[in-house]
Structure 1
C-alpha cells in the first residue's frame, strides 16, 4: 500500500510539473505576442564584398604556404591594407548597394525591405545603383503589390535597379522582378506565372448531413461571395470570378507598365518559363547568376551588401519562435503545394 501511494504521489508531481511548464510557456508566448512583435531596435549591417572575398582568398592562399611564407605574406597584406585606407578617399567608383529579398506567402520581409530602401535613398549619391537578389514563388496580392511599390521608390529616385533571380520569381515574385531596369535570371530559374489563383474549400454539405446549421449574416450584397461553412450561390461564384479577373487585369497592367516591350497577352496565361526561355519571350533581359554578375562588376563598382537585422529580447525571441511555428508550418505547406508546379525532377 505504501509503495502504491508513493508511486501515485510521484505521478501527481510529474503531472503538476508538466502543467506548470506548459503554463509558463503559454504565458511567455502571450506576453511576447501581446507586444505585437515590436522591435527593440534594428541593426543595419553593411559588408564590403571585395574585402569579404579577399579574406576568403587569403585563407586559401595561406593554406598552401609554409609558416615562414605566411608570416611574410601577412606583413605584405598589412601594408597593402594601410595603402588602401589612405587611397579610399580618392576612390571615384560609384556604389552598388546589394539587398536580398526571400519572399514567403505573405511577403513578411516587407518592413525590413522598406527600411533598407529608405536608408539607401538617404545615403546614395548620383550614379549609384541598387541590385536585389530576389527569390519568391508569390503569395498574397496586396502584400506583393506593396513590395513592388517599394522597389519603384528606387527608380523614382533615379537609382538604376538590377534584379537577379537565381531560383524563382513567379506570380507575386515576378510582380516585383518586373520593376527592374535590368532583369537577370539563372538558366533554370523559374520565371512568370502571371496569373491569379484562389482556392476556397466548402464543407456545407458535410455539415448539412450532420444536421448542423451555419448562418452567414452580411450587410452588403457582396460582403461575402464564397464561404467555407455556408452555402455558396452561383451569384457569389460569378462575383468571385469577376474579382479574380479584375485582379489579373491589374497584374497585367502593372507588368506592361514596367516592361512595355513585352507581349503581355502571350505570357499572361499563368504559365512559367525557365531562364533561357524567359529571355526569348522578353520576360527577362539577361541569363546569368547573381554571383557571376557581381563578380564581373567588382572592379568598376564598389559593392556594399546591406541587411537589416532586428534586435529582440530573449523573451520576445522565445515567444515569437513558439508562437509562429505552427503559422510558418502552414505557410510552408501551402508554398510547397504551389512550388510543386515548377519543382520538376
Structure 2
C-alpha cells in the first residue's frame, strides 16, 4: 500500500490547468462578458471524451481557486474531471436578484435575464467551442449564491447541481423561501449545496430559516447538502466552501475510497447504479482509469489493474500517464515485455507532448529496458 501511495502521488500530484479566454457580447444582459475557461489536464488525451461543466460566478475573483480545487480533487477520482468556466457581471444586484426590491427599483430583480444569458448565450457558446457533457454545475457566493439558489428551484433550468456559498437568502423578505415552500417537485434530479460562514444578523437568520424549511418539507428530486464554516468570514469562505461543496455534491463519487478495489465490470456497475441519483450516466475519465487501475495492481489484483488500464488507453490513447501506469501494472503482473512496450508508448507521447512527467516516465523506461535485457541475457545462457 505504501508503494502505491508513493507512485500515485507522483502520477497525480501536479495539476496543470490549460486556461483560455474569450468574450461574449450579450444581447440579453447588455454587457460584454469575459469568459475564462480551465480545461482538464487530460483534455488532449482524447479527441472524443466530453467533460461536465462547472460555471463559477464572479469569475474575476473566484475562478482561479475553484479551477485549482477541481483539478486537484478530480485527479484522485473524488469528483469528475470538469471544464471550469469563470464569468462575471458588472451589475450583480440587478442580475443576481430574483425579485425587484422597492429600495432598488430599476436596479434589481432581473435574475431571469441572467438565466437567459447563461442558457441562450453562454452555454451554446461553450458547447460549440469545447467537448461539454450534458451535466452542468454552477457556483455562486453571496448575491451569486442567491442566484444559484434561485436556479436550484427552477424547473426550466438546465443546471444539475448548484453551489451557494453564504447566499443572500434574506433578499426581499426571504422571498426565495416562499418559492421553496410553494414547490412540490422538480422534474429532474437537482443537487443544492448551501453553506454559511461565521456571519451574524440577516445572513445567518435567513440561512437557518431555509434549512428549517428544507428539513420540514421535502421536495421530490431535490438533494440538498449544508455545512457551517465557523472559522471563516464572508470574504474568506469561498476558498474552503467551494472545495467542500464539490466534495459534498459528489460525496459518493469515488468507487473505492479506502483500501478495497474493484474490477472493471464492478466499476461500470457502480457508476450505472449512482447515475439515477445524479440524473446522468458518467463514463469513466482518464484519471479514474488511472487511479482505479493502479490501486488494483498495487493491492494484489494485477489482472484487474491491467484490464482497467488497458481499457483506459483505448479511450485515452494520447495519455502518457495511462500508458506509463499500464507499464507499471504489466510489470507487477510479471509481464516485462508488455511493460516495456507500454513504457515506450508512454515515453514517445511524453516527448511529443513535452510532458511534465517526462523524467519519471524515462526512469521507468530505463528500468524496464534493463530488466528485459537482463532476462534475455539469462535466456541466452
Q: TM-score scaled to structure 1, two decimals?
A: 0.24
Structure with the larger RCO, 1 or 2 (CA within 8 Å, 6+ apart) = 1
TM-score, with normalisation over the residues of structure 2? 0.23
Structure exhibiting the larger radius of gyration computed from Cα positions: 1
